[in-house]
Structure 1
Amino acid sequence: MRAINAGLLLCPECHKLDRIQPGQRKQFCKRCGARVFVRRPNSLARTWALLIAATVMYFPANLLPIMTVRNLGQHSPDTILSGIVMLSKQGMFGIAIVVFLASILVPTLKLAGIALLLFSVQRHVQLSARQRVFMFRFIEWIGRWSMLDIFVIAVLVAIVNFGSLANVEAGFGALAFASVVVLTMLAALSFDPRLIWDNTGVEHE
């Protein structure tokens, strides 16, 4: 049974359940004062917009250099994929696998997972509510690991700075990749998971 069927609204901030007040256009949580909704307004449209923006940024994130290593006057720009190949050639397979998982596999799974979740909710695809909830929780959980590459680059830029001898500079690919991570995180936050449990005949967008 859904909370809405029992006449209850869930606060998105403190998660307190409040009774629906008939006739009130706006309702606020009695504990924290946040505005509560039957369903988050325009949740699907906002999530789609953020997802499309993240998908657009995904291509420059993988095609543009994510960082440039300058050593004794020579510079070597690396994309995410070329960096993985370089690590593999140097025998650092463990680090290469971690970078591949965090920088390529995780963002791809997030984009595909959010798209599938939105499509399944809108088009009533034959997926159980439990499968959709598991997918949503997995997307939320795995998102934090996407920032691993950006964290490593930030550390290298701060530490490796020896003037003309050697230094590391972040590339435009790093900015695009960070945009993908932030946009997918915002997409997951803007999606109202209560839509998963709605009846197929009811639309709340």
Structure 2
Amino acid sequence: MTTARRMRLAGCHECGQLSRLPQQHGHCPRCGAALHFRKPASLARTWAYLIAAMILYIPANTLPMMITGSIVGTQSDTILSGVVYLWTSGDWPIAALVFFASIMVPLLKMIAILLLLITCQRRSRWQPQQRIKLYRLVEFVGRWSMLDIYVVTILAALVQVQSLASIAAGPAAVAFAVVVVLTMLSAMSFDPRLIWDPLDDGQEQTGEPHESEH
């Protein structure tokens, strides 16, 4: 199987120019950006972003997302308590949407990236086409994980009578936003071409090091 890497071709991540690399590193003749056959330290950076996202996922779901103040007192709601309130109030479609977008999507995205990392690090040949589709799905759905932040922002803007009521974002909003950003960065850092490297039968003959050795 003829591959771009076997032909010593590398694509520029900045302008998309396809260039021939006689060595492992070089520069794009069009824009001058650094060229690599694979993203340098792709797995290490993806692991770092993913672990940080997993750690912050806990306070994002346990700390208050929204703090509501009124003349009768102050109430703090986490993401899950907000979902329960919407469900018991009869707004089950909105509750299901918030639960899926704010709890399940980040969790499933982290599990998917974890699966990709483990299989690539073990140089597994298991279902490469399905893993590529999984990676594309992760990239697509990641941008829709900020639903709770949008809801809090809209509610805070709508509540104008500050003397009677007020709505403010809780500490979980910051943690949740960082989780979303970190999962997006982890997906961007991951090089999906690593999925196909174990299938390259000519890798040993060319003497090219694994991605982790760059």
| TM-score, reference length from structure 1 | 0.93
Partner of residue 81, structure 1:
80
Task: For 1:105-184, list aligned pairs within 5 A.
Answer: 105-184=104-183
The 1:63/1:193 distance shift into structure 2, 3 A limit, reads same
Partner of residue 67, structure 1:
66
Segments of structure 2 that go 5 or more residues without pairing to the other structure are none
Partner of residue 33, structure 1:
32
**Does the CA contact (< 8 Å) of 2:42 and 2:191 recur in 1?**
yes
Give 1:144's aligned amino acid. Answer: R
Partner of residue 14, structure 2:
13
Partner of residue 196, structure 2:
197
Partner of 2:211: helix, strand, or coil?
A: coil
How far 1:63 moved relative to its partner? 0.4
Query: What is the count of residue pairs matched by the alignment?
Result: 203
How far 1:117 moved relative to its partner? 0.4
Partner of residue 187, structure 1:
186
Alignment partners' CA distance in 1, 2:87 and 2:107: 21
How far 1:61 moved relative to its partner? 0.4
Tell me whether 158-167 or 189-198 shows the greater mean CA deviation: 158-167
**Does the CA contact (< 8 Å) of 2:123 and 2:198 recur in 1?**
no
How far 1:129 moved relative to its partner? 1.4
State the superposition RMSD in angstroms: 1.6
Give 1:104's aligned amino acid. Answer: I
**Does the CA contact (< 8 Å) of 2:124 and 2:198 recur in 1?**
no
Give 1:3's aligned amino acid. Answer: A
Alignment partners' CA distance in 1, 2:210 and 2:163: 61
Alignment partners' CA distance in 1, 2:32 and 2:156: 43
After superposition, what is the alpha-carbon deviation per residue over 1:87-116, rounded to whole angstroms, capped at 9, x for unaligned? 011100111011011101100111100000
The runs of 4+ residues in structure 1 deviating greater than 6 Å are none
How far 1:126 moved relative to its partner? 4.9
Alignment partners' CA distance in 1, 2:177 and 2:128: 31
**Does the CA contact (< 8 Å) of 2:17 and 2:28 recur in 1?**
yes
Tell me whether 107-116 or 148-157 shows the greater mean CA deviation: 148-157
**Does the CA contact (< 8 Å) of 1:73 and 1:164 recur in 2?**
no
Give 2:73's aligned amino acid. Answer: Q
How far 1:29 moved relative to its partner? 1.7
**Does the CA contact (< 8 Å) of 1:73 and 1:165 recur in 2?**
no
Give 2:211's aligned amino acid. Answer: H
Partner of 1:13: helix, strand, or coil?
A: coil
| TM-score, reference length from structure 2 | 0.89
